[in-house]
Amino acid sequence: MALTATMYRFNIQLSDVDRGVYETLELRVAQQPSETAEYMLTRVLAWCLEYTEGIALTEGVAAGDEPAVLVRDLTGRITAWIEVGAPDADRLHRGSKLAGRVAVYTHRDPRIVLEQLAGKKIHSGAAIPIYTFGRGFIEKVAAILPRRASLSLTITERQLYLDVDNQSFSTTVEERMVG
């Protein structure tokens, strides 16, 4: 018998002061059986931190050729290709050729991600940011994340403040470049 995805439902109050984005959002997320809670949470945070018109959360590890998060314009053209975790150089190369912008959000040690990409051919690789969260942040939040939750997410000057059902967490969103 095949395992099925676990459904999560989030009501999100997003205040991204850095980008001037203030939204109240509802998000349903299917956590695939082969997907860790940390990966799924990083997908949700990437979706929030990249939130704009045309954004879509894909099926994550089950998305095949698509990244974790896509942004399309009104014509259907991909304008942002957002990967999560530790994507290989070929995925970033392909995404960079298809989209105007590529970014990576990782819950892993960024040095490992950068080492695996070092010296590989990636179209516009020097322009691809890798975003990470403070040590232990993702693990702490993932450990208490209920399947139905109210999230309040505030980003200001690269500081991320997250309330999950009245439990508070904070971290710095760090940026490194692939190239």
pLDDT digits over 43-68, tens only?
Answer: 999 999 999 999 999 876 666 788 99
| pLDDT greater than 70 at residue 132 | yes
Q: How far is CA 142 from the centre of its chain?
A: 14
pLDDT of residue 63: 63
Other CB atoms within a 10 A radius of the CB of residue 67 amount to 26
pLDDT of residue 107: 93
pLDDT digits over 73-98, tens only?
Answer: 999 999 999 999 999 999 999 999 99
pTM for the structure as a whole:
0.93
pLDDT of residue 2: 60
**Fold of the domain built from segment(s) 6-177:** Restriction endonuclease-like alpha-beta roll fold (3.10.640)
**Distances in whole angstroms, Cα of residue 170 to Cα of each of 35, 94, 158:** 24, 33, 11
